[in-house]
């Protein structure tokens, strides 16, 4: 698991599913936090998205990215 990548997501989100498919061979390298099951995760997402629960929100090396490109996340997860 990559300590430097945290992916905030929720079930049914098409953008989250697109990201998950794009990183499918690296999915276990990230920490995945379901905002519907984790109130702290939901609060964090709202804090970096003007009060909105916009997902996927991906934190790479401590910097949040709202709906980043799958390529950016793949690069962060390494080879």
Query: In CATH, what number is assigned to the domain containing residue 26?
Result: 3.40.30.10
Which structural domain, as residue segments, surrounds residue 55?
Answer: 5-77
With the C-alpha atoms ordered 16, 66, 44, 50, is the resulting torsion angle positive or negative? Answer: negative
Total number of domains constituting the chain? 1
With 0.85 as the threshold, say if the pTM is over it: yes
Burial of residue 26 (CB within 10 Å: 0-12, 13-18, 19+) is: middle
The pLDDT score that the predictor gives to residue 2 is 54
Provide, rounded to the nearest whole percent, the portion of the chain with pLDDT above 90: 92
């Amino acid at each position: 698991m990559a300590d430097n990548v945290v992916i905030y997501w929720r079930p049914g989100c098409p953008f989250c599913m697109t990201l998950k498919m794009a990183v499918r061979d690296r999915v276990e390298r990230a920490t995945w936090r379901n905002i519907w099951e984790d109130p702290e995760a939901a609060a964090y997402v709202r804090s970096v998205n003007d009060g909105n629960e916009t997902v996927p929100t991906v934190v790479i090396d401590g910097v949040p990215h709202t709906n980043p490109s799958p390529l950016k996340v793949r690069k962060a997860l390494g080879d």
